[in-house]
Amino acid sequence: MKRLCATAVVAALVLATAGTADAHTGTTTLQRHADALPAQGAPGVLVEVDTPRGDVRVRSGHGDVDRRTPVPWQAKFRIGSFTKTFVAATVLHLVGEGRMSLDDTVERWLPGVVAGHGNDGAKITVRHLLQHTSGLVDYVGEMPELFLEEGFANARFRTYRPEQLVALAVRRQPDFQPGERWKYSNTGYVLAGMIIQRVTGNTWQHEVRTRVVEPLSLRDTHLPGTSPFLPRPHATAYERFPEKGLEADPEDPRYGRAVDVTYYNPSWGGAAGDMISTTEDGNEFLKALIGGKVLRPAQLAEMTRTVPAPELDEAWAGAAYGLGLMRIPSSCGGYWSHGGDIPGFKTRNGVTPDGGRSVMVSINTDSMVAEPGAPELDQEVTKDLVDHALCGPK
């Protein structure tokens, strides 16, 4: 969706026996990876690895920089675009019931909503929406209030309706014709949420809750809607806003001071990114999803059928995209993932193809600016940590 100077707090909580954890999860190496993140601009970090031999958690830095306290072990956090995986799974659930098809057009379910300026909902399918191949402009880029400190302060408790967000996107010419190529667009998932409501008569939040969250007993996963509050315990969420807004030069971003953005109305994220969860619940969901406990085999196969996503190469070389899931190469073959960035939080994760091992990473900012002298990275900041968690000692 940037740099806080925080001294790493070396702490680890091992939920298996100490000997088993060290032998089978490489806790020391995991801690070392976590301890490297504050220098890259993370105020604090919480990591949980779920393995067949037990769970391991490590943390580093500060959940509250002023108080110099660590991220709570049971911290709730905004998961941003990891929400998309829940939404895609819910759509596929409906597909498995025969209530809709991935080949249905947007126009069928939302007549007249995607029209004008070269946008045509009759040419865009549900698959295009979930796969980021619709060509629709990302509405987030049309919201400058999200990228400037004063603008965010003025809009942080504002409610946005899904129709408003889609309207921001379709006032622009599409980036390309549906299916021509891949480009990440939050607009597709806002539309997917609207389609869920049209198909079922219930909000997308209700359907995600009753079809995914409750059956998996994800008790600490929340769908806040317009509520600005973050359930306790939680870290303080920090954001540095580029002083030049969207025009900031990546080589000289000139980010301002760190601002507390813990509380705000997340309705502008909607079905593209407004959910709240924990490392434990995130791991449980990923393992259940890839393990076949959420979707029927045919729908899981659709979800994991990928297309090239070259825009992801800078962070994850060779990554491909399915329906609400990324396939990322690793030192042990590859894993499934979907991270999320939203003001105040960065979520990263991964699960092995057999669903047997997963990892969740929460950082309490999405605007990381490395400290002077920190190692320069040519990949996503948590990539080595996630790779070790999934490919380390078995």
Q: Catalytic residues, which ones? A: 81
What are the angstrom distances between the C-alpha of 196 and each of 15, 163, 265?
Answer: 38, 14, 22
CA–CA separation, 100 and 193 (whole Å)? 13
For every residue of 306-325, DSSP letters joined together read -EE-GGGTTTSTT-EE-SS-
Q: What is the DSSP letter of 64?
A: B
CA–CA separation, 58 and 78 (whole Å)? 19
For every residue of 79-90, DSSP letters joined together read -GGGHHHHHHHH
| Contact (CB, 8 A) for 321 and 131 | yes
- Closest by CA position to 106, among listed 123, 90, 94, 119: 123
CA–CA separation, 391 and 13 (whole Å)? 20
Question: How do strand 335-337 and strand 115-116 relate by DSSP bridges?
Answer: unpaired
| Contact (CB, 8 A) for 323 and 92 | yes
Task: Map residue 184 onto helix, strand or coil.
Answer: coil
Residue 69: what are its φ and ψ, rounded to 5°? -105, 150
Query: Helical H runs in the chain?
Result: 18-25, 27-35, 83-96, 106-109, 126-131, 149-155, 162-170, 186-200, 204-208, 279-290, 297-303, 383-391
What are the angstrom distances between the C-alpha of 303 and each of 40, 181, 320, 340?
Answer: 33, 18, 12, 18
CB crowding 127-149: b at 16 or more within 10 Å, else e:
bbbbbbbbbbbbbbbbbeebbbb
